[in-house]
Amino acid sequence: MSETPTIGIDLGTTNSAIAHAEAGDIEILPGDTGDRTTPSVVAFDEATEQALVGRQAKKQAVSHPDRTVFAIKRFMGSDEVILLGPRDCAFTPEELAGLILKKLKHDGEAYLQESIDDVVITVPAYFNDRQRQATKHAGAMAGLTVERIISEPTAACLAYGLQWADDATVLVYDLGGGTFDSSLIDITDGLFEVVATNGDTRLGGNDWDALVVEWLEDRIEREYDVSVTDSPQLESRLFDAVKTAKHELSSRRSTTISIPFLEHDEGTTDVEIPIDRQRFDELTSDLLETTIDRVERLFVETGYRPQDIDEILLVGGATRMGQVRRRLTDRFGVTPSKRINPDEAVAIGAAAQAAILDGELEHGGERHPRQNAQHLPSPSDTVVMLDVTPQPFGVVLIDQETYEPYYHVVIERNTPIPARESYVTTTAREYQSEIEIQVYQGDNSRIEENELLDSFELGPLLERPAGEPTIEVTFILDENGILNVHARDVDHDVGDEIEIQPVFGFTDDELTVMQQNLPPIR
């Protein structure tokens, strides 16, 4: 059992949350402002060389959009460098996410009066290998030991199931600010088994805002006969105004988008544009349908039918839009549950997973979040969570007859994790001394449609005629959904066995340096 508090973190696109599990109770830890979530916003103050994170960063965003970053999660796993300020203030996505995690750690420690080390962090189910690795690295930069990475919908389902259901088939629909996930999960006597998962790591509430901002600019130009100035400040104001209207439309039929003193080429004007729910839904219906298509694929892939679903769980702030609840009810014939808080369920589930790892969620324990004071005894002995990989993995092989390269899937989509799969290959040329292994993510038979994760040379091989060597390659996908690849020349002496792991992101030494160089948080 861990010596430090049992902690789960929901590192969200828009907001993040941290939860603590103790003696069967799970509570959300408030930040320094007393709020239960922390905006995932980072700013850098060049003058003091300090970072601002959360509400403070958000507050100064309108006046300093150039030194503020929102939705950093969208860049995780990419080589993007983010400039915060005019000079030399470049950050990697891992560093910026690391700053958000550091802030959550600080605030959590101040609240608990204990130091936080081991954590479970959630990621969108549809995050790929690099994005998961990047999240782990962000944790390391914040000085945290990431015990496990788990999927957001799985975490939400855990939060729900521990409290409300012993046997159920659950559809989780998770629409956050920047990502969408859907998962089908079977709960049976404490066993949480993800059947399939599908999503889009670049689709979220922000895309709804962007479409409405486009429409708004057009309306302003037509109704007020002005040309909207192209500036980051104004853009940020339009997005804020649209977001406010979107939130209002979740609880009323119509509202007005107000932008006082809107700057345009001839001066400023007070702008007021009415919008109703119907218009909002029309403007954004394609986005909603994209999410419904993703859910449909779950049924096609698994053979489950909508009538097999006992419960639909809504997770993520953007599921508050009325269109989501209405469309899911119409399409799948189940009214989504209101039993979980869409903003907190993921962090609570992450803390529950941390408690499972610490052996705290055993039969007889009190396995319910404190937010609901009921004690629900469970008939099961232990709580077990089995997740799947949404991402398939494969390699390029050479056909021995035609010498044409072809794609071979090694780990199929929706395989339960951890997973281990091997295949045997051989050389195509005479006396080949090394063989190249190209590791891809994807299951498209067209090689170029898959994403190359890494490629490495296995060698020196015992030099033999083409087709004679036996090269065994093993893909090991761990519980975090992160892949390692081992390859060996079977006929070599055992002592010569070569083991190779693709390296994504940073080495431990690089991480240590980056952690030390992370700016202090004001």
Q: Which is nearer to ligand AMP, 317 or 519 (CB)?
A: 317
Q: Which is nearer to ligand AMP, 283 or 498 (CB)?
A: 283
Write the single-letter amino acid at 51. Answer: A
Question: In what helix (H) or strand (E) does residue 416 lie, and over which residues does it extend?
Answer: strand 415-417
Give CA–CA dist 421/419, Å, rounded: 7
| 419-425 sheet: strands from edge to edge | 419-425, 471-477, 483-489
Q: One of 27, 58, 73, 95 is an active-site residue; which one?
A: 73
Give CA–CA dist 405/423, Å, rounded: 16
List of residues contacting ligand AMP (CB under 6 A): 12-15, 176-177, 204-206, 243, 246-247, 250, 316-318, 320-321
The CB-of-10 to ligand AMP minimum distance in angstroms stands at 8
Three-state secondary structure of 163-218: HHCCEEEEEEEEECCCCEEEEEEEEECCEEEEEEEEEECCCCHHHHHHHHHHHHHH
For the question of residue 496 being annotated catalytic, the response is: no
Q: Which is nearer to ligand AMP, 177 or 442 (CB)?
A: 177
Q: Which is nearer to ligand AMP, 118 or 181 (CB)?
A: 181
Write the single-letter amino acid at 473. Answer: V
3-state secondary structure of 446: coil
Q: Which is nearer to ligand AMP, 178 or 442 (CB)?
A: 178
Residue of closest CB approach to ligand AMP: 205
Q: Which is nearer to ligand AMP, 247 or 326 (CB)?
A: 247
CB 160 within 8 A of CB 185: no
The CB-of-135 to ligand AMP minimum distance in angstroms stands at 15
Q: One of 10, 186, 311, 344 is an active-site residue; which one?
A: 10
Q: One of 27, 107, 152, 344 is an active-site residue; which one?
A: 152
Q: What single DSSP character describes residue 122? A: E
Q: Which is nearer to ligand AMP, 55 or 247 (CB)?
A: 247
The CB-of-13 to ligand AMP minimum distance in angstroms stands at 5
Question: In what helix (H) or strand (E) does residue 157 lie, and over which residues does it extend?
Answer: helix 152-164
For the question of residue 88 being annotated catalytic, the response is: no
The tokens describing 304, both together, are 């489950």
The CB-of-321 to ligand AMP minimum distance in angstroms stands at 5
Give CA–CA dist 158/383, Å, rounded: 9
For the question of residue 311 being annotated catalytic, the response is: no
The CB-of-152 to ligand AMP minimum distance in angstroms stands at 9
3-state secondary structure of 239: helix
Write the single-letter amino acid at 355. Answer: A
3-state secondary structure of 205: helix
Give CA–CA dist 7/21, Å, rounded: 6
Give CA–CA dist 157/188, Å, rounded: 12
- Tell me whether residue 492 is exposed, middle or buried, using C-beta atoms within 10 angstroms of its C-beta: 0 to 12, 13 to 18, 19 or more: middle
The CB-of-155 to ligand AMP minimum distance in angstroms stands at 12
Give the total residue count for the chain: 522
CB 156 within 8 A of CB 347: no
For the question of residue 73 being annotated catalytic, the response is: yes
Q: One of 27, 118, 174, 200 is an active-site residue; which one?
A: 174
Give CA–CA dist 123/161, Å, rounded: 19
CB 205 within 8 A of CB 318: yes
Q: Which is nearer to ligand AMP, 341 or 432 (CB)?
A: 341
Give CA–CA dist 108/102, Å, rounded: 10
The CB-of-68 to ligand AMP minimum distance in angstroms stands at 17
The CB-of-181 to ligand AMP minimum distance in angstroms stands at 11
Question: In what helix (H) or strand (E) does residue 289 lie, and over which residues does it extend?
Answer: helix 277-302
What's CA 192's distance to the chain center, in Å? 19
3-state secondary structure of 13: coil
Please identify every residue annotated as catalytic. 10, 73, 152, 174
